[in-house]
Structure 1
Amino acid sequence: MALIVVIEDEPDLLELLEYHLLKEGYDVFASFSTKAVEKLLEEEMPALMIVDRNLPGVEGSEFVADLRRNGIDVPVIFLSAKSSEQEIEEGFERGADDYVTKPFNFKELIHRIKAVLRRSKPEEGGILSFRDIVVKPALREVTVGGRKVELTPLEFNLLLELIKNRQIVLSREELFDRVWGAEGEYRGKTVNVAVTRLKEKIDPDKQKHYIRSVRGVGYQMC
Structure 2
Amino acid sequence: MVKAIDPTATILSIEDNEDLLELETFHLLKEGYKVIGATSTKGVESILEQENIDLMLVDRTLPRVEGSEFVSYLRDKGVTIPVMFVSAKDRDEEIEEGFLRGGDDYLRKPFNMKELLYRVKAILRRTNAIEHERLTARDIIMDFNTRKTYIDSQEIELTKLEFELLSLFIKNKNKALGREYLIQNIWNENEDIQKRTVNVTINRLKKKIDPHEDKEYIVPVRGIGYKFQ
TM-score by length of 1: 0.64
Structure 1 CA distance for aligned equivalents of residues 108 and 78 of structure 2: 26
Q: Could you tell me which amino acid in structure 1 is paired with residue 83 of structure 2?
A: V
The residue aligned with 1:32 is 39
- Residue 123 of structure 1: CA displacement? 4.5
Give the number of equivalent residue pairs: 191
Task: Could you tell me which runs of 5 or more consecutive residues in structure 2 were left unpaired when the two chains were aligned.
Answer: 1-7, 174-180, 189-197, 208-216, 222-227
**How many percent identity over aligned positions?**
45
Structure 1 CA distance for aligned equivalents of residues 19 and 126 of structure 2: 30
The residue aligned with 1:218 is none
* Structure with greater Cα Rg: 2
Q: Could you tell me which amino acid in structure 1 is paired with residue 149 of structure 2?
A: V
The residue aligned with 2:191 is none
The residue aligned with 2:219 is 207
RMSD over aligned Cα, in angstroms? 4.2
Asked whether the 8 Å contact 2:50–2:160 carries over to 1, the reply is no
- Residue 104 of structure 1: CA displacement? 1.3
Structure 2 CA distance for aligned equivalents of residues 139 and 64 of structure 1: 23
The residue aligned with 2:210 is none
2:75 pairs, out of 68, 78, 85, with 68
Cα gap change, 1:15/1:147 in structure 2, threshold over 3 Å: closer, same or farther? closer
Cα gap change, 1:103/1:45 in structure 2, threshold over 3 Å: closer, same or farther? same
Asked whether the 8 Å contact 2:148–2:155 carries over to 1, the reply is no
Structure 1 CA distance for aligned equivalents of residues 136 and 145 of structure 2: 14
The residue aligned with 1:110 is 117
Asked if residue 193 in structure 1 is aligned to residue 200 in structure 2, the reply is no
SS at match of 1:33: coil
TM-score by length of 2: 0.63
- Residue 138 of structure 1: CA displacement? 4.8
Cα gap change, 1:195/1:113 in structure 2, threshold over 3 Å: closer, same or farther? same
